[in-house]
Structure 1
Amino acid sequence: MQPLSSRERAYNFNELANNSFDILVIGGGITGAGVALDAVSRGYSVALVEKADFASGTSSKSTKLVHGGIRYLPNFDIALVHEALVERGLLLQNAPFLVNPVAFVLPIYEGDKHPVGMPFTTPKGIGLNRLLDAGLWMYDGLAGRRNISRHHHISRQEVLERAPTLISEGLKEGFIYYDGQTNDVRLTMTVLRTAARSGAVIANYAEVTGFEMSHDHITGAVVHDNIGDQQFTVRARHVVNATGVFSEQVESLTGHTPEIQVEPSKGVHLVLSREQLQLGDDAIVLPETEDKRILFIVPWESRAIYGTTDTGTGDLNHPNASQDDITYLLKYLNRYLSVNVTEDDIISTYAGYRPLVKPRQKNASTAKLSRTHAVIESPSGLVTITGGKLTTYRRMAQDTLDLISRRDSMKPVHPTESLPLQGSAAWPLTQHELQKRGTSLGLSSSIIQHLGGAYGSNANAVFDLIEQDASLGQQLISDLPYIKAEVIYACRYEMAMKPSDILARRTSIVLEDRERGQGVVDEVTRLMAQEFHWPSTEQQALMQTYRSNIQNQVLAEKH
């Protein structure tokens, strides 16, 4: 299996500095990862650099859904919904261990006027359920042969059986429809690993600080190694800017006025106890808010994810849930649920910025901006891909590479449509074998299930580590399925360089743990130190940095 260790990272820096590439991708979120994989699959030589850790921006801050975007139907964004539903189907096919179908309960209440954010209504809301039914038929139809399962109407009684904490007063009936769920960071890491296996040279903590130009045309990028504190130039025939909400900043490094305007829109989520909400395996759609948002409560391992908001901008590098965001979300949760949820019940919060492509007219609401992506060429030759959503990352990458193929007078081919992501091989059979092997190693079924869902067939490499050292099978936190072997695996195979890379991204401990990883950061750092031979002073500094960052985030939520 392709190692992506710190040694590999150092080797990659040497490769980046001393070779010329066909394509340099800037940005290690899901979009950049997708572009790197599509490019290398078409036979291009590819480099990818990310200024922080992989998936450390918006790609780790989603609602963890692979969905068509049911809220775009009422706005008649038919093309966007169709594109996303096709991509949902391809992801279920190409990454079966990472994407799981989930049923959504959509309750209908007396007096609802704008369910699922409908921009129009009917007199007194009469016949709205028929309109919704028609919309859901369209949703199923747009997915075509790749549809997960058809939606259906359910009685008031069945709504309450499936979602027992929904308030019953005024509840009339409901619908069930289906979408997909994923772990956004694991998906990003899997796409990156698949690209690296095919020859892409990737590095995290590698920041583009400027461009090398010849006759006003980009020929390379100046890159700063933010860990080793060295600088070098990566030369490439084509440079792709896949930096999401930072697209404009990166484009301005060319010295030209940016071609695009990105309107960052903040989405905030709360992580709650699944047990407290009595949430089964179905997700719940909260039917209506005053500002016509759509809010989801989604089961996620032992937790529930609830969100999202759509508000303006702030510090792009450190998005936080504000007190206003939290109050807004709790207001609607307590309006529709019979259990009273307070701020004390929140396990964690997270926020991220969607890179919405901004229209030229002023005063447009970010909630109304479409999520359609745009591929834009700047006079310098820089290609920028922005907009879109997690679900459509593959299509965004394909459209970007089609532009580059045309530049190179080559006929575009689309290899990623049927390309299984690493870890997917013979999945149902592999899943069965992982269960057997994990049981023989003495692991609980919840840990085995978690490892299969996070790594697919690569979970065997985690099992290999436990075979060599049985203590690595121990859980890091007693009520979560993460084990010590995953720390070693992340260092050797996923380029984890800091404790936060493991606690916040290679695992989701920072979201799922009430202490946000502060109780286990010492152990994680100790395990990493054995791999990296860190002196005790460096260990102490890394642990302190992690704790102060978490404390700052918690403080920001109080304001």
Structure 2
Amino acid sequence: AAKLGAGVFAYSALSAFGDGVGHLLSPAKAAESVPELRTDNLKAVAVYGDDQMNDSRLALMTLRAAVESGASVLNYAEVTGLRFTNGRVTGAELRDQRSGDEFGVDARLVLNATGPWVDHLRKLEDPNAAPSIRLSKGAHLVLKRTAPWKAALATPIDKYRITFALPWEDMLLLGTTDEEYEGDPGDVGVTEKDTAQILDEAALSVRDEQLSRDLITYAYAGLRVLPGGPGDTSKAKRETVVTEGRGGMLSVAGGKWTTFRHIGRTVLKKLETLPGHPLGEGIEPVSELPKKMPLPGIANPRAVAHRLLIDHPADGPRMAADTARHLSTHYGSLAFDIARLANENPELAERIHPDAPEIWAQVVYARDNEWAETADDVLRRRTTLTIRGLATEDIRHQVEDLLHAE
């Protein structure tokens, strides 16, 4: 118990106690925040503050920021080859996966930031390139909650691994697994073995009634990009791997969301040293870029939700509280753009599904502002309907119709 208490206190200290002070508490007190907590033979519990996010939304806001800074963004553009000039990589051959159109892009420098596919691109540059990474699969389950949770649960499995049960998007998120993966990254998925492992490990600290398979609404798996090397992937360091290829292409892989801006600055500094970098042509060096740059939509979600609730047409209905909260936490101040669509067209103010907070205006917004092309783009990557188990065939067809409406 003392070791656990010291650990969470040190964790809090690393964030300058911005999320409070980590400390021990009694199992009975812990059960007030986690109603399905197993307290039999429970020896020690500690609490500490942390943060969570919706990674799809953060990725989209990062893309929005890039576009506002002058980037061109293409969705569903597959790299089929690289262009070379005097042995150096100077562009890429692309194919539109939706239309089949093929085209190319010329560039002074090419950065390969393709995650699990990073070595595939490196082999397009140099067929003899040695592997620079290895992949670790992590599977997760999303379940309906049988009771409200006020805290997340982290349970040690062994010396290296922890299993999590997190209240997330009004659901319960369980995971994760950690095993080496050697197949096609596009084929990764959740197996029956993964599901059984996640439920078994969660059962160490969560009561059986919360772990019924009938409560599972969604299962997904992702790939961690780890430095190449021997040993168990669960023991491997979550480091960023940066390599320069024979043709001058810079490849970057690994790292975590918590350090993605630091990784970006590190990579930009390396790009500045390569031949072809347009420094001095109106391009600022990384050292002169601002250290902090808010992403689009950054705002206090409570203030945004309040505005959404009080600002509505005089002859129109007031927005539901759960929808206002959902929009404010997922879009920030950009939620006002969605509310405007709903106010102008009452049909877009209606819920997509009666059991979810999303409204149809979000589909139009995803189509016009967030590069959504397919029903999955909207239902799985830009809203939470799929993880809630509410993406019915009827809803999918209606979303497709709206995506392709003039």
TM-score normalised by the chain length of structure 2: 0.91
Alpha carbons of 1:438 and 1:398: their partners in 2 closer, same or farther (altered >3 Å)? Answer: farther
Structure 2: give runs of 5+ residues left out of the alignment: none
CA–CA separation in structure 1 for the residues paired with 2:161 and 2:194: 13
1:302 to 167, 170, 176: 170
C-alpha contact (below 8 Å) 1:263/1:355 kept by paired residues: yes
Q: Report how far residue 350 of structure 1 moved.
A: 0.6
Q: Which stretch has the larger CA shift, 395-404 or 435-444? A: 435-444
CA–CA separation in structure 1 for the residues paired with 2:92 and 2:237: 31
Q: Are residue 467 (structure 1) and residue 343 (structure 2) matched?
A: yes
C-alpha contact (below 8 Å) 1:503/1:517 kept by paired residues: no
C-alpha contact (below 8 Å) 1:482/1:507 kept by paired residues: yes
Residue 250 of structure 1: SS of its match in structure 2? helix
Match of 2:113 in 1: 242
Residue 179 of structure 1: SS of its match in structure 2? coil
Q: Report how far residue 508 of structure 1 moved.
A: 2.1
C-alpha contact (below 8 Å) 2:301/2:329 kept by paired residues: no
**Residue identity in the other structure for 2:403:** M
Residue 104 of structure 2: SS of its match in structure 1? strand
CA–CA separation in structure 1 for the residues paired with 2:330 and 2:166: 18
Match of 1:281 in 2: 150
CA–CA separation in structure 2 for the residues paired with 1:273 and 1:353: 25
Q: Are residue 139 (structure 1) and residue 8 (structure 2) matched?
A: no
User: Across the two proteins, how many residue pairs are aligned to each other?
Assistant: 395
Q: Are residue 268 (structure 1) and residue 130 (structure 2) matched?
A: no
2:318 to 442, 467, 471: 442
2:91 to 208, 212, 220: 220
Alpha carbons of 1:290 and 1:304: their partners in 2 closer, same or farther (altered >3 Å)? Answer: same
Q: Are residue 412 (structure 1) and residue 273 (structure 2) matched?
A: no
Alpha carbons of 1:153 and 1:335: their partners in 2 closer, same or farther (altered >3 Å)? Answer: closer
CA–CA separation in structure 2 for the residues paired with 1:366 and 1:438: 52
CA–CA separation in structure 1 for the residues paired with 2:312 and 2:206: 39
Match of 1:25 in 2: none
CA–CA separation in structure 1 for the residues paired with 2:101 and 2:255: 34
Q: Report how far residue 291 of structure 1 moved.
A: 7.3
C-alpha contact (below 8 Å) 2:309/2:318 kept by paired residues: no
CA deviation string 1:452-503 (max 9, x = no partner): 1111111111111112210111111111111111111111111111111111
C-alpha contact (below 8 Å) 2:140/2:221 kept by paired residues: yes
CA–CA separation in structure 1 for the residues paired with 2:43 and 2:290: 44
C-alpha contact (below 8 Å) 2:312/2:343 kept by paired residues: no
Match of 2:66 in 1: 195
Q: Report how far residue 519 of structure 1 moved.
A: 4.1
Structure 1: give runs of 5+ residues left out of the alignment: 1-128, 532-559
Match of 2:397 in 1: 522
CA deviation string 1:520-539 (max 9, x = no partner): 112212222324xxxxxxxx
CA–CA separation in structure 2 for the residues paired with 1:216 and 1:227: 31
CA–CA separation in structure 2 for the residues paired with 1:428 and 1:342: 34
CA–CA separation in structure 2 for the residues paired with 1:205 and 1:494: 13
Q: Report how far residue 183 of structure 1 moved.
A: 0.6
C-alpha contact (below 8 Å) 1:431/1:457 kept by paired residues: no
CA deviation string 1:325-377 (max 9, x = no partner): 11111112223222332322211101111111212xx3x11111111112221
Give the helix-richer structure, 1 or 2.
1
Q: Report how far residue 429 of structure 1 moved.
A: 4.6
Match of 1:355 in 2: 225
C-alpha contact (below 8 Å) 2:113/2:252 kept by paired residues: yes
Q: Report how far residue 207 of structure 1 moved.
A: 0.9
C-alpha contact (below 8 Å) 2:301/2:328 kept by paired residues: no
C-alpha contact (below 8 Å) 1:151/1:175 kept by paired residues: yes
C-alpha contact (below 8 Å) 2:302/2:328 kept by paired residues: no
C-alpha contact (below 8 Å) 1:398/1:414 kept by paired residues: no
Aligned-residue CA RMSD (Å): 2.1
